[in-house]
């Protein structure tokens, strides 16, 4: 019974989503820092975080590495 409960808790953690903005703040970066690292405008980063524009899969992969969070846990 305890093992099953532990697996349920692990599943809940793997389902946890964090916004792009929260992930960025968590690694103490500004929108401008991210824009410079990716070679995009500050406005592009703002639009990703607002959900106005969705970053490409390649960009999401890079952001997940930059923010030190699995790509599956990024909310876009």
How does 26-47 read in b/e, with b if 16+ C-beta sit within 10 Å? Answer: eeebebeebbeebeeeeebbee
Task: Write down the pLDDT at residue 40.
Answer: 97
Task: Write down the pLDDT at residue 58.
Answer: 95
pLDDT tens profile 26-56: 999 999 999 999 999 999 999 999 999 999 9
pLDDT tens profile 59-76: 999 999 999 999 999 988
Q: How many CB atoms lie within 10 A of CB 15?
A: 9
The counts of H helices and E strands in the chain are 5, 2
Task: Write down the pLDDT at residue 16.
Answer: 75
Task: Write down the pLDDT at residue 12.
Answer: 54
Q: Decide if pLDDT at 20 tops 50.
A: yes
């Amino acid at each position: 019974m305890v093992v099953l409960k532990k697996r349920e808790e692990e599943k809940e953690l793997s389902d946890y989503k964090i916004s792009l903005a929260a992930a960025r703040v968590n690694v103490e970066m500004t929108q401008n820092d991210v824009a410079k690292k990716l070679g995009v405008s500050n406005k592009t980063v703002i639009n990703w975080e607002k959900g106005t524009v969705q970053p490409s899969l390649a960009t999401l992969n890079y952001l997940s590495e930059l923010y030190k969070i699995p790509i599956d846990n990024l909310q876009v």
